[in-house]
Structure 1
Amino acid sequence: MARIPIHSFEDCLKRAGARKHVLLGNGFSIALKPDIFSYGSLFSKADFSSVPYAQAVFEALGTQDFEAVIRLLVDMAKILACYKESSPELVEQIEKDASAIKTILANAIALNHPDRPYDIDNEQYAACRAFLVNFDHIYTLNYDVLLYWALMHDDVDELNIRCDDGFRHPEGNEAAPYVSWQDSNSPTVHFLHGALHIFDAGYEITKYTWSKTDIPIVEQVRSALDEEKYPLFVAEGHSHDKLDKIMHSAYLHKALRSFSSISGSLFVFGHSFDDNDDHVLRKVPEGRISDLFVGLFGDPDSESNRRIIAKAFSFADFRAETPRKNKLSVHFFDVDTAKVWG
């Protein structure tokens, strides 16, 4: 492969047109806390030693989706209690396992996330916001709340970031500790895979306003789980599994439709271009983006970067071979020059 030019982030901003958008991957979080965040899944880091049957249940269902397993166990306990032949001990064990898996999920999240917004310096928030202000629409594949915290810390600067996520106070209940998603709104911030602060209550999608709280995130998540409110996030599985969950959520589906419709320039920061996110990535060559700016970390000739480069150029090839589609130009920048967290 011929050596390609690697630009600075500032140079790419100048090359881009008026409409600029960004897609954030896990590298956005790793850049801040490499000792906490990683590319591994929550499932692989969960400690199931306290629940002997847990892994067998996940395997029987062919899933790594915590919510699916917790919901099934909770429902199973309710149903078995209706049958006289059922053992009360079995029902009790299933209820205990459901509760234990909630704790396992909350602990796995806590091990992979800063406890509080104040664990991050104001200087780091300011640097992140200076990066984000460049974009009209912000899309993230991460389900952590670092982006949310950064957007809410508007007291560290005077930047005017477009950060409407589509959530509003419930009508007549402005004092509620949460806000509700309104489908009629036109958001500019999109959590494509959901997030830990967004909950599916069944009849509505809510967002807890945790940006100013001093309660550790593990306690926040555990408290919500005890109220049978499940974080809306897509964390595990293959691309088709993720897409299936997205298509069954009005919030996630609308976010993906928004990503499919954008035009202008798209910056990708901190994403490995792995196939398990193809349900999102393929919207780039299929869509209306004219310029794709891809961030590379480290040596451009590394195996991981060569794979990213090849996939990005394959998007341009797809566009060139598709009738009635505009050309897609691909550019690369050094992620270190973006100074996302300072």
Structure 2
Amino acid sequence: MTFDEAITDSDRFAKRHLLLGNGFSIACRADIFHYGSLYAQADFSNVPEVQAVFEALGTQDFEAAIRALENAARILPAYVPHGAVAIAKMQEHAAALKEILVQTIAGNHPNIPPDIADEKFWACRRFLANFLAGPKAGCVFTLNYDLLLYWTLMHGDMPSGEPIPLTKNDGFGNDEDEPDAEYVVWQGETNAHSASIMFLHGALHLFDSGKELLKYTWIRKGIPLVEQAREAIARNAYPLFVAEGTSAQKKSKIRHNAYLYQGFKQLTANLQQGRHCVFIYGHSLAANDDHILVRIGRGHFRKLYVGIYGDPDTEDNQRIMKRAQELAAMRHERWPLEVSFYDAASANVWGGP
């Protein structure tokens, strides 16, 4: 079905929620956010051996390479009793790849919102209004690290059009000890239940200071967020990122961070609502995000709408559709899950060409 048809069909549910994958960012700037683009821009000069890992796997997917290195480091002792040096090097290179991924995203990210046409932001705000405005407004959960969603929420509407009142509470606010600080802080679990935007895997503008989670803002510091992130990374202060290789490793990191775990719990709680529905846009339903996807299979909500980009008969799309049906098959008979697929291109998330 078309996206509009899916939205019409979903009117029978009390709330709509949205889960965003990397296809959301790729649809805006494929030249930057596609793994192939990131790989081409990455600097592997300090760990040149890792390029052989990508080549051996036949991929440019950073998470796949990280997962392979970490798995190999666990397996190697069974075959090479005296391979401690190689094991340590694999673990070191897996950690280095995570940092290279962060550095590459920050280094190639659009500098400021005006680098993206207003028309794209306006189109995206209209898309998000299906989930963050009106009586059906639910939550938007994103697995992306970049700033595109945040920029869209902060962007103004078309001057000649009707304003779009998006709910954009992300759980951050003034530091009660430093209300005039150049950043805002996560308000903690108590004040986070009303949040409608959650970065499930962290993001470029979220930094863990050790005692609290900070959100960098442009309005308080007057310095573009990407520039702030780059300056921090140059000081070896890395943003909150979940770039682990496997789903189990991602889940472990999420459980050890209060903000990430609250987002995970909030997602889970909403998936338990029998009168809600969920849309997925830009996600391949890959196994390395099973810590998220399995919650769909264990949920109580009644309808899942999955975006399919391009020919539905391609191998990748057939795999996505099969995986979605597998999630539905996990359901208890009391809470059956209906799955429909919509044409992702028809959502016009970032407008026309």
Establish whether TM, by shorter chain, passes 0.5: yes
- Point out the structure with the larger helix share: 2
Distance 1:271 1:59, change over 3 A: farther
Q: Secondary structure at the match of 2:166?
A: coil
Q: Aligned to 1:335, which of 322, 326, 344?
A: 344
Distance 1:107 1:34, change over 3 A: same
Q: Aligned to 1:316, which of 300, 303, 328?
A: 328
Q: What is the rounded CA distance, in whole Å, between the counterparts of 1:317 and 1:106 in structure 2?
A: 36
Q: What is the rounded CA distance, in whole Å, between the counterparts of 2:306 and 2:249 in structure 1?
A: 25
Matched letter for residue 167 of structure 1: F
Matched letter for residue 309 of structure 1: M
Q: CA deviation at 1:15?
A: 1.0
Q: Secondary structure at the match of 1:61?
A: helix
- 1:1-342 aligned at under 5 Å gives the runs 7-16=1-10, 17-39=13-35, 46-50=42-46, 59-61=89-91, 64-66=94-96, 107-135=103-131, 136-156=138-158, 158-171=163-176, 173-183=178-188, 184-185=190-191, 186=193, 187-210=195-218, 215=223, 219-226=227-234, 229-262=237-270, 263=273, 264-319=276-331, 322=332, 325-342=334-351
Contact 1:197 1:210 survives alignment (8 Å):
no
Matched letter for residue 49 of structure 1: S
Q: Secondary structure at the match of 1:340?
A: coil
Contact 1:43 1:64 survives alignment (8 Å):
no
Q: CA deviation at 1:222?
A: 2.8
Contact 1:106 1:222 survives alignment (8 Å):
no
Q: What is the rounded CA distance, in whole Å, between the counterparts of 1:305 and 1:60 in structure 2?
A: 33
Contact 1:107 1:218 survives alignment (8 Å):
no
Distance 1:207 1:119, change over 3 A: same
Q: What is the rounded CA distance, in whole Å, between the counterparts of 1:124 and 1:209 in structure 2?
A: 22
**Aligned sequence identity (%):** 46
Tell me the C-alpha RMSD between the 2 structures.
2.8
Q: What is the rounded CA distance, in whole Å, between the counterparts of 2:14 and 2:31 in structure 1?
A: 36
Matched letter for residue 294 of structure 1: V
Q: Which runs of 5+ in 1 are unaligned?
A: 1-6, 69-100
Q: Secondary structure at the match of 1:179?
A: strand
Normalization by structure 2: what TM-score?
0.77
Higher mean C-alpha displacement, 119-128 vs 170-179? 170-179
Q: What is the rounded CA distance, in whole Å, between the counterparts of 2:269 and 2:286 in structure 1?
A: 22
Normalization by structure 1: what TM-score?
0.79
